[in-house]
Amino acid sequence: MKFQNILFVQDSSPCIRTIKIATALYYEGLNIHLAHRNKTPDEAYGYGNSSFKSISILPKYRFKDIKFIKQLIIKYNIDLVHFHNQPDQLGAKLIESKLGIPIIYDQHDFMFFKHHLSKKEKKYEQVCNEEANGTVYITKTYKNEVSQYYNLIDNSICFGNYFPQNSILESADFLSKTSSLSKKLNLVYLGRISEHKNDHRNIVNVIQNLSNRDLVIHIYPSKNKKYPSFSQISNVVIHDKLPYNKLIKEISQYDFGVTAFNDEVASKLPHIRYAFGNKTYDYLCAGLPVLVQNCLDDVLDFITNNSFGFVMENYDEYNNLSSSEYSNIVLNIIQSRNQFSMENQIHRIVEFYEKTVEIFYAKT
């Protein structure tokens, strides 16, 4: 069964995962259309609009959403809808509307793990997981956790938050290491940090422990603001937020990237333990070995199985590396990382589309 036109639907501003997948599919020759709410890709991230054949803003009044999407399906001869979740309400309504084409549910986040859901919200999540024509999960472990709550369909795929090929920084463009001057290992952390006690991104204690080992930690937070709980720690440098491509080159001057959360909170939450966000791939794009917290199961397996870094708590393993040992780890990253680019993984999504379309029309 041939297909050409895919409609991405997201009941929010398109997230970075949505943009990365759409861009890779664009290079595969597919026409990707977008229906979304709030900001466009360019407005949210500074790029991404050009990856879509068309971009449509969902109606102001939500009761008009389904009629609006039906019109888009006819207008653009859509073969398949790929719904990107959070929230799930619109995805469930699309599935229940029987649009005459397959609906794929892409679970960026399992909301049951993260929020107190109302009875209606649980029902929406159940419909998406149990009644879509195909489902996409970030990791196998995450999917297994979801399966404890819902009867998942057989037609599914696990597909990570892979990085865009053009984000890779070549070794010739790496900056000189700051550690050559400071004589201390320099680490970097990317992304949101928090000073709220129960927030899983409150990593003050993690950073303090690293500082106690006389390691220098550079933090590039997602928002430019003052973080007194972090800045008062010795050996910590808070930097301004940078555009993505500038950021990747900037962090190449450090020795290791850090993937960590508030371990008192994260170790108890499946959506943290089994999640696999973007920062780990960002470090690899910059040629940096990764230090990953022991409680983060899926990222830990990925890093250790591919020899891309170390368990963060095992200080002696990475603090005493010789220059040749460190260079060999970086060389392994450079030689192996391409396989984890979105462009080198996207064929799996295309094949999943093909399978989903075949299954759908075999039943009709």
pLDDT tens, position by position, 155-180 = 999 999 999 999 999 999 999 999 98
Instruction: Give the domain extent around 125.
Output: 5-162+342-363
Q: Residue 4: pLDDT above 60?
A: yes
Clarify whether residues 144 and 174 are in a common domain.
no
Clarify whether residues 147 and 180 are in a common domain.
no
Q: Give the helix ranges, DSSP H, for the chain.
A: 16-27, 41-45, 65-75, 89-96, 111-114, 119-131, 140-146, 179-182, 204-212, 228-231, 244-251, 263-266, 270-273, 279-285, 297-305, 315-319, 323-336, 342-363
Average pLDDT over residues 219-248: 92
Which pair of tokens denotes residue 287?
């040629």
| pLDDT tens digits, 99-132 | 999 999 999 876 555 556 688 889 999 999 999 9
Largest CA distance in the chain: 68
CATH value at residue 194? 3.40.50.2000
Among 24-28, 70-74, 269-273, 342-346, where is mean pLDDT lowest? 269-273
Clarify whether residues 352 and 305 are in a common domain.
no
pLDDT, position 113: 54
> CA angle at residue 156 from 151 to 159, to 5 degrees?
125
pLDDT, position 108: 83
| Whole-number Å distance between alpha carbons of 316 and 254 | 18
pLDDT, position 114: 53
Clarify whether residues 142 and 40 are in a common domain.
yes
Average pLDDT over residues 301-323: 95
Q: What are residue 137's DSSP bridge partners?
A: 107, 158
* Count of structural domains within the chain: 2
Q: Residue 134: pLDDT above 90?
A: yes
pLDDT, position 26: 97
CB-based contact 150:172 (threshold 8 Å): no
- Regarding pTM above 0.95, the answer is no
Average pLDDT over residues 13-21: 93
DSSP letter assigned to residue 167:
G
pLDDT, position 183: 86
